[in-house]
Structure 1
Amino acid sequence: MRIIPEMLRGGSALAEDYTQGTGRARDLYEYDVLHADAYAQRAKWLDETEHLRLSRKEVVACLRIYNEQYNSYEAVRASLDRLESPDALVVVGGQQSGLFTGPMLVIYKAVTIIKAAREAEERLGRPVVPVFWIAGEDHDWDEVNHTYVLANDPQAIKIKLKKQPERRSSVSTIKVDAVEWKQAMADIEQSLPDSEHKADILRMIEHGLTDSYGLSEAFAKLLGLLFGDYGLVLLDSADPSLRKLEASVFRQLVQHNDELEQAYRTAAARIVDYGYHLQADVHKDGANLFYIHEDERLLLFKQGGLFTDRRGLVAFTKEELLEEIEIHPERFSNNVLTRPLMQDSLFPVLASVLGLGEIAYWAITRDAFGVLKMQMPILLPRMSFTLLDPGVEKYMLKHELTFGRVRDGLEESKKQWLAAQDQIGIQDQFSGVKEAFARLYEPLVQQTGLIEKGLLRLGETNSKKILGQIAYLEAKVQEALLRQNETALRQWDRIEWSLFPFGQPQERVYTIYHFLNRHGLGLIDIIMNIPTDPAGTHRVIYV
Structure 2
Amino acid sequence: ALHWDKGINLFYYQNQARVKLYKEDGENVFVTKNRDFSISVDELKDQIVSSPELFSHNVILRPIIQDTLFPNAITVGGPGEIAYFSQLKGVYKLFQRRMPMIYPRVSLTLFEKKFQKIQKGFDFTIEEIINRDLEAKSQAMTEDFEKDQFVTDFANTMKKELRHLTEEAEKKGKAIADSLKPSVRKIDFEIDKIKDKYLKKIEETQGISKNQIERLKNGITPRLKPQERVFNYFYFMNFHGPSLLSEIMKQVDITDFSHQVLFYE
TM-score strictly above 0.5: yes
Deviation sequence 1:168-199 (CA, Å, 0-9, x none): xxxxxxxxxxxxxxxxxxxxxxxxxxxxxxxx
Indicate conservation of the 8 Å contact 1:288/1:337, yes or no: yes
CA distance in structure 2 between the partners assigned to 1:493 and 1:325 by the alignment: 54
Deviation by residue 1:343-363 (Cα, 9 ceiling, x = unmatched): 222233211111110110112
Residue correspondences, number:
211
Match of 1:489 among 191, 210, 213: 210
Of the three residues 382, 386, 406, the one matched with 2:105 is 382
Amino acid at match of 1:512: Y
Tell me, what secondary structure is at the counterpart of 1:364?
A: coil
Distance in 2 (alpha carbons) for counterparts of 1:524 and 1:513: 10
Distance 1:494 1:336, change over 3 A: same
Q: Which amino acid aligns with 1:301?
A: Y
TM-score normalized by structure 2?
Answer: 0.71
CA–CA separation in structure 2 for the residues paired with 1:523 and 1:514: 11
**From 55, 63, 74, the counterpart of 1:351:** 74
Distance (whole Å) between structure 1 residues aligned to residue 238 and residue 45 of structure 2: 50
Maintained 8 Å contact 2:106/2:256: no
SS of corresponding position for 2:247: helix
Identity rate, percent: 28
Equivalent position of 2:20 in the other structure: 299
RMSD of the alignment, in Å?
2.6
Equivalence for 1:333: 56
Question: Among residues 138, 158, 164, which one is paired with 1:414 in the alignment?
Answer: 138
CA gap 1:483/1:316 in 2 versus in 1, 3 angstroms: farther
**1:525 CA drift (Å):** 2.7
Instruction: Tell me what 1:403 maps to.
Output: 126
1:519 and 2:243 matched: no
Equivalent residue, structure 2, for 1:316: 39
Structure 2 CA distance for partners of 1:310 and 1:499, relative to 1, 3 Å: same
Going from structure 1 to structure 2, the CA distance change for 1:300 and 1:416 (only over 3 Å counts) comes to farther
Counterpart Cα distance in 1 of 2:20 and 2:200:
55
SS at match of 1:394: helix
TM-score (norm 1): 0.36
Alignment partners' CA distance in 2, 1:382 and 1:479:
50
**Deviations 1:330-352, CA, capped at 9 Å, x for gaps:** 22222221112112222332111
Residue 542 (structure 1) aligns with: 263
Shift of 1:486: 1.3
Give 5+ residue unaligned stretches, structure 2: 150-198
How far has the Cα of 1:295 moved from its partner? 2.8
Secondary structure of 1:297 counterpart: strand
Q: Which has the larger radius of gyration?
A: 2
Whichever residue aligns with residue 235 of structure 2, its letter is H
CA contact (8 A) 2:252 2:260 kept: no
Aligned mates of 2:255, 2:216 — CA distance in 1 = 29
1:503 to 224, 246, 250: 224
The whole-number CA distance in structure 2 between the counterparts of 1:358 and 1:328 is: 31
